[in-house]
Amino acid sequence: SSIVSITTKVTTNYQYFFQNYEQESTGAGSGIIIGKTDDVLYIATNYHVVSGAKEINVGFNDGEMVTASTLGYDEDRDIAVVAVDFSDMKASTTDAISIAAIGDSDALQVGEPAVAIGNALGYGQSVTSGWVSALNRTISTDDGDSTGLIQTDAAINPGNSGGALLNMKGELIGINSVKASATGVEGMGYAIPIDTAMPI
């Protein structure tokens, strides 16, 4: 499988009565295997999934967990790439993975079927399906505006943020990102088009 889970440990410093304290919290999301060299596996995810992490762990479908490092990111586009060394992986895990087939998000049309796949920690891989509801959408989040997004009614939950949006050929057409969380809004998930993400 080309879909992985990503878990993080984040340390937050705060002051209380002039004393400094550290608090550790965990985060979870999904990632997509997008490439490899002889030594390294490259995994795309959302920047917000790994932002501020002091430790990143990638979970594969066979249950193996491997430590990863952040290679680079684009905060505005909410894209990050993390790397896993093959030397840290079991041979059986290496044999079981696959690299995502990249599709053409510029060729997408409204009304096409779409499938969202994530691997939220603790729940395993989940698949939701729907349609491409709209293209080139702009939405406002706490971090500012996100532009050029694919809108889909396939359910996108926090755990499968960073996961894959696929077309009916099984090709990667988007990286699932934020979910519209306005009260009473259902069926509005968003993905970063793969044609935007791959150059990053």
User: pTM for this one?
Assistant: 0.88
pLDDT digits (tens, 9 = 90+) for 102-139: 999 999 999 999 999 988 665 778 888 999 999 998 88
Q: How far apart are CA 31 and CA 58, in angstroms?
A: 8
- Cα-Cα end-to-end distance for the chain: 23
Task: Name the percent of the chain lying above pLDDT 70.
Answer: 92
What confidence score (pLDDT) does residue 86 get? Answer: 95
Q: Is 161 a catalytic residue?
A: yes
Strand 65-74 relative to strand 189-193: parallel, antiparallel, unpaired?
A: unpaired
What confidence score (pLDDT) does residue 60 get? Answer: 92
Q: Name 86's Cβ contacts closer than 8 Å, sequence gap at least 6.
A: 36, 38, 39, 40, 41, 94
Name the average pLDDT for the chain: 88
For the CA atoms of 174, 178, 179, 181, the dihedral, rounded to the nearest 10 degrees, stands at -160
Q: Is 145 a catalytic residue?
A: no
Q: Which of 78, 105, 133, 153 is an active site residue?
A: 78
**Paired tokens of 48:** 């917000």
Q: How far apart are CA 98 and CA 102, in angstroms?
A: 12
**Paired tokens of 23:** 């608090």
For residue 8, report the phi and psi dihedrals to the nearest 5 degrees. Answer: -130, 155
Structure confidence at residue 1 as a pLDDT band (50, 70, 90): confident
**Is a pLDDT exceeding 70 seen at residue 190?**
yes
pLDDT digits (tens, 9 = 90+) for 155-166: 887 777 899 999
**Is a pLDDT exceeding 90 seen at residue 19?**
no
What confidence score (pLDDT) does residue 74 get? Answer: 93
What confidence score (pLDDT) does residue 39 get? Answer: 95
Q: Which of 48, 105, 146, 153 is an active site residue?
A: 48
Q: Is 153 a catalytic residue?
A: no
What confidence score (pLDDT) does residue 183 get? Answer: 55
Q: Which of 2, 146, 161, 177 is an active site residue?
A: 161
Q: How much of the chain is helix, strand and coil, in % rounded to 5?
A: 10, 55, 30
pLDDT digits (tens, 9 = 90+) for 56-93: 999 998 889 999 999 999 998 899 999 999 999 999 99
Q: Which residues of 90-105 are buried (b: 16+ CB within 10 A; e: fewer)?
A: eeebeeebeebebbeb
Structure confidence at residue 12 as a pLDDT band (50, 70, 90): confident
What confidence score (pLDDT) does residue 164 get? Answer: 95
